[in-house]
Amino acid sequence: MAAFTGNEQVKIDMRILSLYELFRWEENGILKMDAPELRNLRWAPDGKSRLIEAALRGIPVQAIFLEAAKDGSMEIIDGAQRIKTFVSFFKDGFELVNENPDWNGRRFSDLSPIEQRKIEDFQLVAYVVHNDSEGEFRRQLFESMNLNRRSFSSQEIRNYQYGNMGIPFIRKLAEYNSFRQTISEKEVDFSALQHQELVLRFMSFYYKGFEEYNGNMKIFLDKTLQEYENYRSREAEFEPVFKNVFDAIAGIWGTDAFLAGEKKRRINLALYDVITYSFSGYEKECLLYHGEQIRQRMRQLLTEHAGFRSSVKGGSNTSIAKVRMRFELWLNEMDLILGESNV
């Protein structure tokens, strides 16, 4: 089977895989189980149990999609929940929750030899994509497979579309303790990877500067990943800056960071952008030393400066004029507070 994207032909093979073969692939490192998290693998126990019951009864399940890498490994494109559930059960990772008393409460090792063989011999239809391109075909394939499923967030789609183009680095930074502290106790949808998108926002403004913002935040963020080979060499530079910035923000605001006085504890993305960007030019010790002044001046701008307040209202005003206004106003305030001092 062949598919086309632009001028490129992509080969897709259909294979019949037994679960035992899949288990061996996982055991030998052929199957990449750390593939981009298109779905947050949090199936309820009864959902996982129904999948195992389908295998025990020989009931077909939906096909999976894999992508063959040049090194011979296989990356999961679609079917991560099913694959990880099967692998987890094979490793005695959970007990079945089932009305059938013969299966309820049992792990794989508790099943009879005949039942274990039913699991191992159960067959999946697998479509294996042989493709050297990264972005557009992966996006098209993902969208076509998910037309009738739930909507995916922009960051979930990015994680799928761009693979290793900065995504592993973003995931790593998103786990940093001070960063997590500043976004905790707020309306952040971790299941939709909003925390990772926050990392990408800071990264994009840091690498490109707010002057390069083009009026469309989604395109601005996507372009950072599209052009990531231009920035990959700067990871060693950005990581300590990221940690320095969020250590300082956690020390100054704690869990009250990025709030604009609204009733809901929702991160104001406009404040997030200007604070993280402005802090990247100073050492943590300097920022903490002037922390009270910084906090007070931000409070004054939000309550007394109509222009600044309107530019961050709702946190989602992404017009070029509003974005530049809030960056320039806050950077000027930071310069007045800290000047060229770094102590």
Q: What angle do CA 195, 198, 204 make, to 5 degrees?
A: 145
Q: What radius of gyration, in Å, describes the C-alpha atoms of the chain?
A: 24
CA 168 to chain centre: 9
CB 308 within 8 A of CB 301: yes
Q: Residue 41 and residue 49: Cα distance in Å, rounded?
A: 14
Return mean pLDDT, the chain.
83
Q: At residue 244, what are phi and psi to the nearest 5 degrees?
A: -60, -45
> Could you tell me the sign of the dihedral formed by the alpha carbons of 217, 218, 223, 225, in that order?
positive
Model pLDDT for residues 147-185, shown as the tens digit of each residue: 445 556 788 778 777 777 888 899 999 999 999 999 877
- Hey, what are 200's tokens? 């990408």
Q: Residue 278 and residue 3: Cα distance in Å, rounded?
A: 46
pLDDT score, position 267: 87
CB 12 within 8 A of CB 127: yes
The whole model's pTM is what?
A: 0.63
Report how far apart the first and last C-alpha atoms of the chain are (Å, whole number).
Answer: 64
Q: Which long-range contacts (CB under 8 A, 24 or more apart) does 56-61 make?
A: 56/103, 56/115, 56/118, 56/119, 58/118, 58/122, 60/125, 61/124
pLDDT score, position 286: 93
Q: Which parts of the chain register pLDDT below 70?
A: 1-10, 34-44, 131-152, 261-264, 314-317, 340-343
In the DSSP assignment, the letter for residue 93 is -
pLDDT score, position 198: 95
Proportion of the chain in helix, strand, coil states, percent, rounded to 5 = 55, 10, 30
Single-letter amino acid, residue 92: D
> Could you tell me the sign of the dihedral formed by the alpha carbons of 321, 322, 325, 331, in that order?
negative
pLDDT score, position 4: 44
Q: Residue 336 and residue 300: Cα distance in Å, rounded?
A: 14
Q: Residue 99 and residue 230: Cα distance in Å, rounded?
A: 55
Side-chain-facing half-sphere of 288: CA atoms under 13 Å = 11
Q: How do the domains of the chain map onto residue ranges?
A: 2-145, 154-338
22 closest CA partner among 96, 101, 100, 79: 79
CB 184 within 8 A of CB 255: yes
pLDDT score, position 76: 83
